[in-house]
Amino acid sequence: MTLVRILGIDPGLVRTGYGIIQAEGMGRLKFIEAGLIRTSPGDNISGRLTDIYSNLTDIIREYRPEILVLEKLYSHYKHPTTSILMGHARGVICLACGENNVKLINYPATRIKKALTGNGQAGKQQVQGMVKSLLGLKTLPRPFDVSDALAMAISYVYIEGTNSAKGRI
């Protein structure tokens, strides 16, 4: 049976969470790797974006995911600067996908939460608990940047179904 590697990314300028799973037929999921790409808030934005891009490229080259799932950008009218800065991080993530021939998928946060918990308004703790359960982890994946990234990867399997990813899951 063919396996598909899926990389979920929770982008941020200070902490970018990543989570890699492997999916195979009948919705079976296997945890591969997860962690954080950290940058220093004191560095200029070009240096921070370079760090995110470089580290993500290394992760892609080491683990060879076929699909990268990224949360769609959401902008709250009270915090437009946050969305603009997040857009910079998303841009280098999209570039890393393009340069490494990784299929890029974008879902809204509510769709990811609904796919995992059945509730599009689920809290971070509920999502974190479902990630732990679905991947058979012994402890909760922490911090939330990591559990959110794993949730994105898992959501792909539930949203696209068992015959997606080039017909191979």
Assess whether 51 carries a catalytic annotation: no
Per the residue annotation, which of 51, 71, 148, 160 is the catalytic one?
Answer: 71
Per the residue annotation, which of 51, 58, 62, 145 is the catalytic one?
Answer: 145
Per the residue annotation, which of 10, 51, 148, 160 is the catalytic one?
Answer: 10
Assess whether 71 carries a catalytic annotation: yes
Q: Is the dihedral of CA 81, 87, 90, 95 positive or negative?
A: negative
Contact 65, 7 (CB under 8 A): yes
25: amino acid identity, one letter: G
Compute the chain's Rg from CA coordinates: 15
What is the distance between the alpha carbons of residues 162 and 37, in angstroms, rounded to a whole number? 30
Assess whether 43 carries a catalytic annotation: no
Report, as residue numbers or ranges, the catalytic residues.
10, 71, 145
